[in-house]
């Protein structure tokens, strides 16, 4: 084997090496178990984890399923995230292309007239030259600079893919929250309208009693106050429903479907149950954590590129073709031509630029380590809050439901005692007011319980549509 061939073999062998530092995943800066205490129940065992439970299985309301499907097809934020993935995929392909030789072909022709004083023969004349060539340019990636940059681009692309998942998970949760708010306000409006009718009937009864001399003007004013309060609440919920619909349409990216199925009052039975798992599962399931780790890996790869910049770079440029004074003689025997221009660049003095660039990439890696750890801590806090709210809100809703039942019995008893002439109508009005307030609070508590359960589902990495392909380039 001659020296030239040996050099090529050695260079190609070294081309697979990089100066990227060995990567070790930073330890998770959170406890190995969820918080314990009066607000927390022991972690559930078994069942399908939130991250593996598709939104089709988690949301049991057919109308909500339909709305989520519409949003996934039309939401502009999700479309923007998908386009970002395509953009970073293209950037990765651009960077990866530098690992391979660049080959181009060209053809040229020149005809010019030379005057007497410029011609070698001393006589003017026309000279012609034609050539066809195939050129090759290639940088031998001996120290892995290009491979490091390609790896960094790949990790950025994968981080963007995970970011797309995060956007979808957030969208699914936002649609659910907006939908439950919309349905709750509709239920509150119906409750308010029914209560307003009851208040008006009471007002007419009090007026009749006042005309008969069995009720005072104070009773009339109190009854009218309740009517006016209910009218105010009716106007409030009417406005809220319109705002809720507008917010929902923005998330959907289109109008609310006209064929949307009817739904019952929002309650926790509209959501499937799931276990919380362990904190370590977040590292594998949460796309925002995975995206942060990919960005950390990209920063780690950039260190390899910065290290490689201290070493020589070797480039090979060559061309082969044919040339002739006559167009018809381009492919005649003896018209062949070739050139080879190897080039080596050795950094000698850069005024500290290369060292500063290396320092910068190392600082960037440390920044990404901090971001990665912060994403884990944020995820841990969100899940811990959700676990604290899960059972406590369940108890709160149950207690509020018992209060509604008690106020309903209180109202019926007060009405009965008034009809029997035992108590004044003021007691009935007070019972009506307490019943209406407790019913409204029950709907609000149920909405809060639904929203916190959806938030817990999102925090555990749920909401990614099962079966969606995610392309990862090699």
Q: Does the residue 354 lie in any domain?
A: yes
> Which of residues 95 and 423 earns the better pLDDT score?
95
Q: Does the residue 319 lie in any domain?
A: no
Q: Does the residue 33 lie in any domain?
A: yes
> According to the model, what pLDDT value does residue 47 have?
60
Q: pLDDT tens across 246-283, in order?
A: 999 999 999 999 988 887 778 888 999 888 777 887 77
Q: Average pLDDT, stretch 2-14?
A: 46
> According to the model, what pLDDT value does residue 124 have?
74
Least confident window among 207-221, 237-251, 300-314? 207-221
**The dihedral formed by the CA atoms of 251, 254, 256 and 260, expressed in degrees to the nearest 10:** -100
* pLDDT band (50, 70, 90) for residue 1: very low
How many domains does the chain divide into?
Answer: 1
Q: Does the residue 160 lie in any domain?
A: yes
With 90 as the cut, is the pLDDT of residue 326 above it? no
Q: pLDDT tens across 88-125, in order?
A: 999 999 999 999 999 999 888 888 887 877 677 777 77
Q: pLDDT tens across 33-70, in order?
A: 888 887 777 655 556 677 778 899 999 999 999 999 99
Q: pLDDT tens across 75-90, in order?
A: 999 999 999 999 999 9
Q: Does the residue 427 lie in any domain?
A: yes
Q: pLDDT tens across 142-184, in order?
A: 899 999 999 999 999 999 999 999 999 999 999 999 999 999 9
Q: Does the residue 108 lie in any domain?
A: no
Q: Does the residue 297 lie in any domain?
A: yes
With 70 as the cut, is the pLDDT of residue 285 above it? yes
Domain ranges, residue 232:
17-100+142-311+350-459
With 80 as the cut, is the pLDDT of residue 4 above it? no
Kindly report the CATH number assigned to the domain that includes residue 86.
Answer: 1.20.1600.10
Least confident window among 5-14, 49-58, 214-223? 5-14
Question: Per the structure block, which two tokens stand in for 402?
Answer: 């018992």
Q: Does the residue 470 lie in any domain?
A: no
């Amino acid at each position: 084997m001659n020296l030239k061939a040996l050099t090529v073999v050695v260079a190609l062998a070294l081309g697979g090496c990089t100066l990227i530092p060995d990567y070790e995943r930073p330890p998770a800066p959170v406890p190995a178990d969820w918080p314990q205490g009066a607000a927390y129940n022991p972690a559930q065992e078994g069942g399908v984890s939130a991250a593996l439970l598709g939104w089709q299985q988690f949301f049991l309301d057919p109308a909500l399923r339909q709305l989520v499907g519409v949003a996934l097809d039309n939401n502009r934020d999700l479309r923007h995230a998908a386009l970002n993935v395509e953009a970073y995929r293209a950037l990765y392909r651009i960077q990866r292309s530098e690992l391979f030789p660049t080959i181009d072909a060209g053809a040229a022709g020149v005809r010019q007239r030379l005057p007497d004083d410029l011609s070698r023969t001393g006589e003017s004349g026309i000279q012609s030259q034609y050539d066809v060539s195939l050129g090759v340019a290639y940088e031998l990636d001996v120290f892995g600079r290009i491979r490091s940059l390609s790896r960094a681009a790949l990790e950025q692309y994968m981080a963007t893919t995970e970011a797309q998942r995060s956007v979808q998970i957030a969208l699914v949760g936002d649609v659910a929250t907006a939908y439950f708010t919309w349905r709750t306000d509709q239920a509150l409006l119906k409750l308010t309208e029914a209560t307003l009718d009851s208040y008006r009937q009471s007002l007419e009864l009090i007026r009749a009693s006042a005309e008969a001399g069995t009720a005072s003007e104070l009773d009339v004013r109190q009854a009218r106050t309740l009517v006016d309060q209910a009218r105010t609440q009716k106007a409030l919920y009417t406005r809220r429903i319109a705002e809720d619909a507008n917010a929902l349409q923005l998330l959907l990216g289109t109008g609310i479907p006209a064929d949307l199925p009817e739904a019952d009052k929002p309650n926790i039975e509209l959501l499937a149950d799931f276990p919380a798992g362990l904190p370590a599962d977040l590292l594998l399931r949460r796309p925002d954590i995975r995206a942060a780790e990919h960005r950390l890996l990209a920063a780690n790869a950039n260190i390899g590129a910065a290290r490689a910049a201290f070493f020589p770079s070797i480039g090979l440029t060559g061309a082969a073709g044919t040339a002739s004074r006559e167009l018809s003689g381009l492919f005649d025997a003896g018209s062949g031509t070739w050139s080879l221009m190897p080039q080596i660049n050795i950094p000698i003095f850069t005024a500290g630029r290369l060292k500063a660039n290396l320092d910068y990439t190392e600082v960037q890696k440390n920044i990404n380590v901090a971001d990665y750890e912060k994403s884990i801590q944020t995820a841990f806090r969100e899940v811990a809050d959700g676990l604290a709210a899960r059972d406590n809100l369940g108890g709160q809703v149950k207690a509020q439901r018992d209060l509604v039942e008690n106020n309903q019995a209180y109202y019926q008893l007060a009405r009965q005692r008034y009809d029997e002439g035992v108590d004044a109508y003021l007691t009935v009005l007070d019972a009506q007011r307490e019943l209406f307030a407790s019913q409204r609070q029950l709907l609000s508590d149920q909405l809060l319980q639904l929203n916190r359960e959806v938030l817990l589902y999102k925090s555990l990495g749920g909401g990614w549509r099962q079966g969606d392909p995610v392309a990862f380039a090699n």
